[in-house]
Structure 1
Amino acid sequence: MSEKTNKRQRSRIGYGSSYHRGERHEVGSGPGIGSVLGGQVWVIQPDRKAVPENACLWMQAGAVKYKTCNNHFDCNTCKYDHAMQNKVALGKQVSWQDSMRRQPALARTCRHSLTGRIAQRACAYDFHCEKCDFDQYFEDVLAAKTQSAPTDIARVKGFDVPRHYHFHNGHTWARIESGGNLRIGLDDFSLKVFGQADGFDLPLMGKELNHNQIGWGLKRKHHLADVRAPIDGVIMEVNIRVMENPGLANREPYGDGWLFLVRTPDVKKAAKRLMDDEASLNWINNEVSILEEMVTDVAGPLAADGGTFGPDIYGNLPGLDWHQLARTFLKTG
């Protein structure tokens, strides 16, 4: 029931490897590693020159040969970074900063560019980040406002489901940002079901969200739908643009229509409570089936293939009950 809207395919898997379709004679022979999946022979070829998808700052600087980041580029809470800094203090390891200082001038890239948080930018402070005005401004101001839209989206009966987002069964999403914060919003399904809100009842910066508890509300005319928070954490930033223009959430639910940036004490624990790519697709398929039954009850039989849903389902089908929709899909009401 789902189809990819982005046809881009990965050409590398794992660290330093590439793959191609092969022939049966390549299984067990040749320089590659041959295996059969679904009746098709695939040959994986090690390639030491390949670049891992999330290379650690220490690797990108050339201070170590290989290390992927498993802490969302949140160096302040990274055990590996702390251990490496201790080795540097003992004179047993060159720091990533010193390694970058040895690079040609044009290759001395800002650490925020290395971690993918901003576009290409040269370092002007010789990697003394504590003295850098931009570094402080970015961490305090720009990081909360700098976000990116999804590049790989599946579509299920007209509803967008992006990859690398984590979903709560109350139709909210969380995306782990570089630096360890989580960006939060309502998903495309809920915003199409309830239609464009007249406003959002959002808490202020500094307030706490509690996982699975009522976190905010969606208003439409005389109706209010409560929404459950997908994670625990403290709100670091509220999207003022959505408060001023609620329709932005409907137009770009996974981009500029985000609602909060949240700091949580344990990012990995928070992510484990939510659905990943495969689970979220299965869940949305099931939610669509429930919605189809509700629509059939008030509007009669759907097309044989179910068709696809457009925006403002509630507004276009007055027979649907707002409170029932909130109970069924937002787990509130």
Structure 2
Amino acid sequence: MGERTEKARRARVGYGSSYHKGVAGELGEKSRGIGTVLGGQVWMIKPDKDARTANPCLWMQAGVVEFKNCNNYYDCTTCKYDQGMRKQVEKKKKISWQDSMRRRPSLERVCRHSLTNRIKRRVCAYDYECSKCDFDQFFEDVWTPKTKNLPLETRHIKGFEVPSDYYFHDGHTWARIESGGYIRVGMDAFALKLLGKADSFDLPLMGKELEKNRIGWGMRRSENGAEFISPVSGVIVEVNKKVRESPDRANNEPYGDGWVFLLRHPDIKENFKELMRNSASLEWMSKEVGKLEQMVEEVAGPMAADGGYFGDDIYGSIPGLGWNNLTRTFLKTG
């Protein structure tokens, strides 16, 4: 791998830490790395200084620990690492990240959301007592749910987009974990191209509790209706009014402005257990496209030798496929 390519990979992914088995005597020697004990074995971890931390932990940014990536979507209230660090603070073995920041000059005491790269630089005006900060409440309750997030990387299967960082349900709905532990939900490009542009969407109300693998919302196109399975469980905290008011947004940007709602659930890992991602979602989508091609050939005759690409309104172009047949086969709800 060339030097330029390697640097680009490290900048994008943030990988690069090396580790080796150590001995107890190494634990106090910072030059050898960060020492930890797992299962009675000493491990020395040395961060790659050239690698960019994609999701920096507050404790690292405040200088309490040398290297730690956030793997809990900045939801500190449910983070086991944060809970462990707080216990260390109670035992006087560590200082809190707030106290560490308070030791800095006033202009360097930046907001916790700036520390985690979620907003531009902003100085903290409340001495890290976030519960008293109006901006903190605004950010968590209003700004974060409404923030538009686009896929980091998207693959294409014969014209159908498949984002690598989204989780897919086999009923052609998706879920994405976002900062603060929110879960954004929507319909995939395959379903929206399959059924064409909706006249309206029947979206649930805020506060409604949904259960995964059950009907979550619906759409109508002329006299036809379709229902979509919710890929995850949770309580709805935000509904996309733009999609309700302008249904074509879902088709125009299924993985961006076309999301349908945002929800919260206390156990994210369990909630996402059965969903597909990365290579699994690509393999599944390839099979779904193959199934659709076979159905089209049975109704409209042989396709191009290379299969070709499908248009944006498959049912509208080939109504002989049957609306109910399509929703039953692909959405699992017909």
Q: Are residues 145 and 46 of structure 1, via their aligned partners in 2, closer, same or farther at CA, if it must alter by over 3 Å?
A: closer
Q: Are residues 47 and 66 of structure 1, via their aligned partners in 2, closer, same or farther at CA, if it must alter by over 3 Å?
A: closer
- Tell me whether 116-125 or 157-166 shows the greater mean CA deviation: 116-125
Give, in whole Å, the separation in 1 of the partners of 2:142 and 2:181.
15
Give, in whole Å, the separation in 1 of the partners of 2:110 and 2:15.
23
Q: What is the DSSP-based 3-state SS (H/G/I as helix, E as strand, rest coil) of the residue aligned with 1:224? A: strand
Give, in whole Å, the separation in 2 of the partners of 1:254 and 1:108.
36
CA RMSD of aligned residues (A): 2.1
Determine if the alignment matches structure 1 residue 11 to structure 2 residue 10. Answer: yes
Give, in whole Å, the separation in 2 of the partners of 1:245 and 1:297.
34
Q: What is the DSSP-based 3-state SS (H/G/I as helix, E as strand, rest coil) of the residue aligned with 2:286? A: helix
Give the residue type in structure 1 aligned to 2:290: S
Give, in whole Å, the separation in 1 of the partners of 2:47 and 2:66.
16
What's the CA shift for 1:87?
2.1
Give the residue type in structure 1 aligned to 2:249: L
Question: 1:30 matched to which residue of 2?
Answer: none
**Alpha-carbon contact 2:10-2:52 (below 8 Å) kept:** no
Unaligned runs of 5+ in 2: 1-6, 19-45
Q: What is the DSSP-based 3-state SS (H/G/I as helix, E as strand, rest coil) of the residue aligned with 2:225? A: strand
What's the CA shift for 1:51?
3.2
Give, in whole Å, the separation in 2 of the partners of 1:75 and 1:128.
15
Q: What is the DSSP-based 3-state SS (H/G/I as helix, E as strand, rest coil) of the residue aligned with 1:290? A: helix
**Alpha-carbon contact 1:72-1:180 (below 8 Å) kept:** yes
Runs of 4+ aligned residues of structure 1 deviating over 6 Å after TM superposition are none
What's the CA shift for 1:73?
1.3
Unaligned runs of 5+ in 1: 1-7, 19-44
Question: 2:268 matched to which residue of 1?
Answer: 267
**Alpha-carbon contact 1:115-1:178 (below 8 Å) kept:** no
Q: Give the alignment's TM-score, normalised by structure 1.
A: 0.85
Q: What whole-Å deviation, never above 9, does each CA across 1:149-199 have from its counterpart, x for those lacking one? A: 112110110011111110000000000011111000000110011011111
Q: What is the DSSP-based 3-state SS (H/G/I as helix, E as strand, rest coil) of the residue aligned with 2:82? A: helix
Give, in whole Å, the separation in 2 of the partners of 1:263 and 1:164.
19
Determine if the alignment matches structure 1 residue 232 to structure 2 residue 230. Answer: no
- Tell me whether 207-216 or 8-17 shows the greater mean CA deviation: 8-17
What's the CA shift for 1:139?
1.8
Q: What is the DSSP-based 3-state SS (H/G/I as helix, E as strand, rest coil) of the residue aligned with 2:179? A: coil
Question: 1:167 matched to which residue of 2?
Answer: 168
Determine if the alignment matches structure 1 residue 127 to structure 2 residue 128. Answer: yes
Q: Are residues 104 and 252 of structure 1, via their aligned partners in 2, closer, same or farther at CA, if it must alter by over 3 Å?
A: farther
Q: What is the DSSP-based 3-state SS (H/G/I as helix, E as strand, rest coil) of the residue aligned with 2:180? A: coil
Question: 1:291 matched to which residue of 2?
Answer: 292
Give, in whole Å, the separation in 2 of the partners of 1:147 and 1:119.
16
Question: 1:280 matched to which residue of 2?
Answer: 281
Q: What whole-Å deviation, never above 9, does each CA across 1:91-112 have from its counterpart, x for those lacking one? A: 2211111222334555433222
Question: 1:316 matched to which residue of 2?
Answer: 317
Give, in whole Å, the separation in 2 of the partners of 1:107 and 1:189.
48
Give, in whole Å, the separation in 1 of the partners of 2:316 and 2:208.
32
Q: Are residues 46 and 120 of structure 1, via their aligned partners in 2, closer, same or farther at CA, if it must alter by over 3 Å?
A: closer
Q: Are residues 9 and 271 of structure 1, via their aligned partners in 2, closer, same or farther at CA, if it must alter by over 3 Å?
A: farther
Identity of matched residues, %: 60
Q: Are residues 180 and 314 of structure 1, via their aligned partners in 2, closer, same or farther at CA, if it must alter by over 3 Å?
A: same
What's the CA shift for 1:120?
3.8
1:96-111 equivalence runs, <5 A: 96-111=97-112
Give, in whole Å, the separation in 2 of the partners of 1:247 and 1:238.
16
Give, in whole Å, the separation in 2 of the partners of 1:282 and 1:201.
31
Give, in whole Å, the separation in 1 of the partners of 2:50 and 2:92.
29
Relative contact order higher in (CA < 8 Å, ≥ 6 apart): 1
Q: Are residues 127 and 52 of structure 1, via their aligned partners in 2, closer, same or farther at CA, if it must alter by over 3 Å?
A: same
Question: 1:91 matched to which residue of 2?
Answer: 92
Q: Give the alignment's TM-score, normalised by structure 2.
A: 0.84
Question: 1:42 matched to which residue of 2?
Answer: none
- Tell me whether 262-271 or 96-105 shows the greater mean CA deviation: 96-105
Q: What whole-Å deviation, never above 9, does each CA across 1:263-306 have from its counterpart, x for those lacking one? A: 11210111212001110000000000011111112221111111
Q: Are residues 130 and 171 of structure 1, via their aligned partners in 2, closer, same or farther at CA, if it must alter by over 3 Å?
A: same
Give, in whole Å, the separation in 2 of the partners of 1:315 and 1:151.
31
Q: Are residues 328 and 119 of structure 1, via their aligned partners in 2, closer, same or farther at CA, if it must alter by over 3 Å?
A: farther
Give, in whole Å, the separation in 2 of the partners of 1:266 and 1:46.
30
Give the residue type in structure 2 aligned to 1:195: G
Give the residue type in structure 2 aligned to 1:201: D
What's the CA shift for 1:55?
2.4
The count of residues paired between Structure 1 and Structure 2 equals: 300
Give, in whole Å, the separation in 1 of the partners of 2:96 and 2:319.
64
What's the CA shift for 1:131?
1.5
